[in-house]
Structures are given as C-alpha cells and as structure tokens.
Amino acid sequence: MGDSRLIQGRYRLLDLIGRGGMGEVWRARDESLGRHVAVKCLKPLNPHHDQSFTRVLRERFRREARVAAALQHRGVTVVHDFGESDGVLFLVMELLDGRNLCQLLEDNEQHPLPVGDVVDIAEQVASALAYCHQQGIVHRDLKPANIMRLTDGTVKICDFGIARLGADIGFTSRLTGTGIAMGTPHYMSPEQISGSEVDQRSDLYSFGCVLYELSTGAPPFDLGDAWAILIGHRDTPPRPPRAQRAELPEYLEKVILDLLAKLPEQRPHDARELGRRITMGRTTPLYVPTVVTPRPQLPSPEPVSREARLPSWTRGMTTGHKATGAGLRTTPPDAGAGLTGEWIARPATGHAGEPAPDSPSAPPPEALKALAGRHNAGLSLGRLGRWAEAGEVHRAVAAERTHLLGPDHPDTLASRYELGFTLSRTGHAAEALREYTHVARARERALGADHADTLAARQEMAYVLGQLGRHFDAHQVYTSVLAARERTMGPDHPDTLRCRHNLAFNLSRLGRLEDSYRMACEVAAARARVLGPGHPDTLVTRYEVAYALGQLGRWQEALQTYGEVAEARAQALGPDHADTLAARYEIGISLGRLGRSADALKLYRDLIDDRNRVHGPAHPETLRARHGLGVNLGRLGRWEEALAESRDVCAIRERVLGPDHPDTLVSRREVAVGLGWLGRWADALTEYRRVAAARERVLGPDHPDTLASRNDEAHCLEQLGRNAEAVELYRRVAVLRQGRAAGGH
C-alpha cells in the first residue's frame, strides 16, 4: 500500500508504523474529520477459500469489529470504524501517544521496570480486563506488545476483541498447516497449549507472564526452544520473582504466582478480584529485605517425548521474540476542551502540602508522587466524560490519601472534591452532597469561609442540591456564595459569573422564569464583554438564555438562539465538538416543541450519525439523540417505531449507565408512553411503576420527578378502569406535594 492510498475514500494512509501477525498498522489522516488515526489493514483472506467460507469470515469480522467498537473503557483502545476496501479488511483506531510495554523494556535495556510502575500498570490493566470480561470478551493474545502506556500514564490494551477475531478466522500466524492459530509462546496459558476451551482466566495467566517480565526483566520461562517454553508453562513451577529481585513487595510476588497457577480454578476468579488484591496489597506497609535471597537452583525437567506431552501442532514451532511488536508512533491528542451542559462547575485546585522530609511520620515521596499521577489521570478521564471510571480512580486515591495524609489534608480534600464531582455526573447526587459537605466544612476550618476553594465546594453543594430537587436550599447556597465572590473577587470575575450562571438556572427551577431569563441575559452580556462573544463560557450562557426562552414558551426565539450558538461553536470549536453537537440537539428539541417534528426527525437522524462516528453507538449523548428521535416518531404517530426505538435505547442505557440512572428512567418512561398510545395499558403500568419506584429509591418520595411518575401511574390506573386506586394515588401525591411546599422546598 503506497503513501497515497485512500481507504474508503476517507482514510489516507501516511506512513507504516507497525507490522505484525495480523497485518500492518498505518498512521493515517481521517479526511472527513481532519484528525490523525491508526488504520490496521488485516492480512488478505486466503484466495483458495471457497466463497461461502469467505462470506462467513467477513460476517464474523464485522460482528467482532462491532464488539470491539462498542467497548468503552479508558483502558481499551477505541475502535472508530471498520470495513473492507479492495478485499482488505481494516479497522480504524485512536492514535496513541506512548510506548508499548515491550518498547518500555527495550528502552530500559531489558531491566525490570520500577515497582511503582509495575503496580500502576497492573491496576489499570486489571480494570480494563474486568470490564471487557464482563462484556464476554476474552483477549487470547495478551502480551507486552499489546499493552500501551501513554505519555499521560494511562495504560491501554490493544486489539481487545480483535485478537479473538484473528484466532478464529486465521489472521494470526499459523504454526503448521493444521489450521490452529496460536498466541506468543512466552505468554500462553496451559489450557491454550493443550488446545482446551479458554475463558477469562487464560487472559489472567497471560497477564501474569507480562507482570513477571515487567518485574524481573524476563518472562517466567525464558528459554530458546519453543517446546521447552510450552513444557515450562504446563509442568514447571515458575521461579519466584523475589528470588531474582528482592525489593519486590511480597504481595506483588504472590499475585503474580497466583496468576501463573497451572489450573484455571487456582487463579484469581476474575480481574475484579485481581484488582482488589493489588489495591489491598498496595495500601499495606512495604517490607524491603536487607539481604538478597540467593537464587534457588531448580531441577531440570526430565526428558519427555514431545508427542506424549504436547499436541501435534507444536511440531516445528518457533519461539519468536518474547516481547515483539511495533508501537504506534503518534501525535498528541487535541488538548482543548469546552464546557458542556447547562451547569458549569469550577475545577478543584490541587495543593502540594507534603509533610517535611525529616518528619518521622512523613509518607514515602514515591507514594505521594504516584497518587498525584493517579489523581491527574482521574481528571483526564473526567475531561473525556468518562465519569464512572474517573470516580473509581478518585475514590481509591482519596482512601489512600486519607490513610497517608489524614482526612483534612488539602490533597485528600482535593480527591474527595473530585469524587463528589464524578458522583454528581453519574446520578449519585446524595453521595456527592455528602462529599462536598465534608470538603466545604474542612476547607472552611482550615482556609476560611471566603477562600476560593471553600466557595468552590459550597457551589458544588448547591449544584447537587438542585439535582436532588432541593432548589430552595440550592438558591440559598448560591446566593451566599455569590455574595462572597462579589465581595472578594468583584462582579466580573469569571468565578463570580460562573456562580451567577448557575443561580440563573436554579431560578428557573423555582418557577421564577422571568428572573432566570433576565439574569442569564446579564451574565451572557458580561461574559461577552470580559471574555469575548465567541468564548466557550459566553456561548454556554447564551445556551442558557435559549433554555430560559424555551421555559417561557418562546420557542421560536429559543430556536434562533440555539442556532446562533451552534453556528458560533462550530466556528470556534469545530462541527464535531461535543458542545456544538449539544446545541444541535437543543435545536431538535425546539423544532419538536414548535410542531415541526418532521424537521426534528431529520435533524436527529443526522445528529445520531455524527454522534456514532465521533463517540460511538453506546455513548450517552448518542443515546440522548436516539431518545429525541423516538419522541418525535411518537409525535408523528409512528408509535410502533417509537416504541422499538425507546426499548432499544432503554436497554443500552441500562447496561451502560445502570438501571437507576436518570437517563435510563427517562427512556423507561418513554417506553411506557408508547405502550399507552398503543393501548397496552397493563404493560404501561408495569413500566410506570418501575420508574416511580426507582425515582423514589434514588431521589426520595417527595421529589418532583418521583411525584410526576406517581401521577403517570395514577393516569394509567384510570385508563384501566381502576378509579379507586387512581384517586387514592392522586391524593397521596397531593399530600406529598403540599408537604414539600410547606417545607420550603
């Protein structure tokens, strides 16, 4: 393939950056999006295969590639696209800026990596394996060349899902003409060697081999003969890693040796258990021996007939390089990130604050540095919108910082602040409120009530109070924070304007629509004056102005304003930026409200295509656009199609976001609406009750959304002729609503 080769009229191949058993990897330019990607061109199918077999293989490729493209985890390389061009099957993946573990070892002259790096890699890979195994995907060819460490410290597994494809349809190198494909001998599990069925525990064994090599500089069975390597995997206990490197922690050695158990049932049950064991071991004090243990001399295995011990396909097998594979030379990803959503949150400020080195209780500087790196990795995940994964990182870092530094140390509080932020973005507002309340009180004691960090925590308290439907309480906190910000920073400081922006939104939730609109206009004008009319923050507030116009029923003006924001964002941020796409979504909302559902339908179809291309089919915003499509299908009376769309979106949201996530519940309610319009009221009642029960469980019995769901349930009971039950439910809702109003909420 030449440098000018264009794949599917879109991906221009620029230079070859890797070659392996499955084909070639090229750095390429996506001409449609103007970004660089990696394109893996798989080896052509054997021309001697018959046509029916070839069709099966191509269909299998498409199915497996879809699986790989659906994987959404920070530790798995993103697959953007796949297809076939001139008989060559290809995949388009994110271009990674980093080195694979094979290259890291080579850079280190095959010396083992630092212990902290090994543990960090182990934790991140365990998390990625746990996610992918939960999706039913086994890698089958895990080795250092298939694991990348990026420049920001993120670790990613490459070819997840595609390795299985290669094993099944013959893209990996074959050992003999028997048609059985194999992985790399140095990292194969005993069950792979015997030709038995493999599951996730085979990946754990392979990963144990990788960790052994990272920890000692060589795989567990580093022999020149392939047969001897396979015998070693099957029959020989590996030399304990600490016999070769005494400073390795005992827990890490035990983890590695347990992963290398010969029988799958003797290994950790799954990658989640592996991750827990690594985390538990890392949080206990390390013991470093002062005397290096002599390396034990292991007895040589007795000679055994190859035919008696190994399958026939091992004859003629060559070893191959123990950690081979070309890494992807890459360009750094775009660093810019705009604000999205209706609320704007101020990031927490980190603090150094390490105890003095001569303090007897000073924690190890290496541990603090590692925690700072993990904290920053969590922030990066948040910037990518991967809130659940970011939350896992911040929760773990907060626990370790509490143990090492104390609960009120600035670094501990910074981690808890970020944990609250992720909780609020994943539908766990009550938990987020607890985190922010603790952080705000601790910061007020240490820094004072008017310190910027204290005010940041209190402002986030107001945000989650709004999420919980406690808009009156949120209003009081916002008003107090705004007064402090104006007093200490001035009325035009960006943080002051951010607070006024959020206060404007909260006013709309209190029913003060005109006040909300007026304040949003004032903030938009101030931001345009201070930051410029095209600044992302200015456009976010103009977006809020459009929202307020919609709340006031002024949908034509809202449509015009959303259109102006979308156009400005496309020019400033690009047509595929998340904020640009968000404004286009709101244009669809406005069109639907104006009765222009046919126009809305076209907009949503285009938006879904763009979201699929940019973010993937399971991304929350892709699903949000599909939800809008379903709503407008219903408005056009196409209820069978609307119901099918709503059910599909609901199922994906339940799997990706969880059954109690607000977006999942919105989809479930839309399913109930469709059932009702089709006259299937008994089925609709079941769905309405599930929504009401979940909202009551998560938000409380008197939350406005819970009460709205109970009203839906009562309406459904009326349609079924169960009027007495409906009246009783309406009465209960009225009592709860009155109690909420009397309580000042």
Give residue-wise pLDDT tens across range 263-275. Answer: 999 999 899 999 9
Torsion, CA 266, CA 269, CA 270, CA 274, rounded to 10: -70
**Residue 405 to residues 122, 372, 392, Cα–Cα distance (Å):** 24, 13, 20
Distance CA 470, CA 463 (A): 10
- Average pLDDT (232-247) is 90
* Domain coordinates in residue numbering, the chain: 6-94, 98-283, 366-487
**CATH architecture under which domain 366-487 falls:** Alpha Horseshoe (1.25)
The number of angstroms, rounded, from the C-alpha of 51 to the middle of its chain's C-alpha atoms is 40
pLDDT score of 710 = 92
pLDDT score of 321 = 45
Q: Is the pLDDT of residue 415 over 90?
A: yes
**Does 369 appear as a known binding residue?**
no
pLDDT score of 573 = 80
Rg value, the chain, Cα: 29
Per-residue tokens: 609: 């295509």
Q: Is the pLDDT of residue 101 over 90?
A: yes
Give residue-wise pLDDT tens across range 529-551. Answer: 988 888 888 999 999 999 999 98
The number of angstroms, rounded, from the C-alpha of 63 to the middle of its chain's C-alpha atoms is 22
pLDDT score of 214 = 96
Distance CA 230, CA 304 (A): 12
- Average pLDDT (3-22) is 79
Q: Is the pLDDT of residue 443 over 90?
A: yes
Among candidates 535, 524, 515, 474, which has minimal Cα distance to 497? 524
Give residue-wise pLDDT tens across range 54-100. Answer: 666 666 667 667 777 778 888 998 888 888 888 788 889 899 989 99
**Residue 643 to residues 91, 464, 708, Cα–Cα distance (Å):** 33, 32, 21
Residues 6+ apart with CB under 8 A from 94: 37, 38, 77, 78, 80
Per-residue tokens: 220: 């567990």
Q: Are the C-beta atoms of 104 and 149 separated by less than 8 Å?
A: yes
Confidence of residue 123 (pLDDT cuts 50, 70, 90): very high
Among candidates 324, 331, 332, 318, which has minimal Cα distance to 18? 324
Q: Is the pLDDT of residue 325 over 80?
A: no
Q: Is the pLDDT of residue 619 over 90?
A: no
Catalytic residue among 81, 120, 141, 702: 141
pLDDT score of 292 = 31
**Residue 551 to residues 316, 326, 548, Cα–Cα distance (Å):** 74, 56, 5
Active site annotation includes 141: yes
Query: Which stretch of 220-224, 644-648, 693-697 has the lowest confidence by average pLDDT?
Result: 220-224
pLDDT score of 737 = 82
pLDDT score of 20 = 65
Mean pLDDT computed over every residue of the chain: 81
Residue 593 burial class via C-beta count within 10 angstroms: exposed 0-12, middle 13-18, buried 19 and up: middle
Which helix (H) or strand (E) segment holds residue 688: the answer is helix 681-699
- Average pLDDT (627-634) is 94
Give residue-wise pLDDT tens across range 141-168. Answer: 899 988 999 988 899 998 775 555 444 4
Give residue-wise pLDDT tens across range 398-411. Answer: 999 999 999 999 99
Q: Are the C-beta atoms of 145 and 284 separated by less than 8 Å?
A: no
CA contacts within 13 A on the Cβ side of 239? 22
Which helix (H) or strand (E) segment holds residue 676: the answer is helix 662-677
Alpha helices in 448-470 (DSSP H): 452-467
Q: Are the C-beta atoms of 27 and 124 separated by less than 8 Å?
A: no
pLDDT score of 322 = 52
Distance CA 654, CA 43 (A): 37
Residues 6+ apart with CB under 8 A from 273: none
CATH class, range 98-283: mainly alpha
Distance CA 548, CA 517 (A): 5
pLDDT score of 44 = 64
Q: Are the C-beta atoms of 390 and 381 separated by less than 8 Å?
A: yes
Give residue-wise pLDDT tens across range 352-366. Answer: 333 333 344 578 888
CA angle 683, 688, 692 (to 5 degrees): 150
pLDDT score of 295 = 33
| CATH fold of the domain at 6-94 | Phosphorylase Kinase; domain 1 (3.30.200)
Distance CA 629, CA 636 (A): 11
Distance CA 430, CA 428 (A): 6
Q: Are the C-beta atoms of 226 and 185 separated by less than 8 Å?
A: yes
- The one-character DSSP state at 314 is G
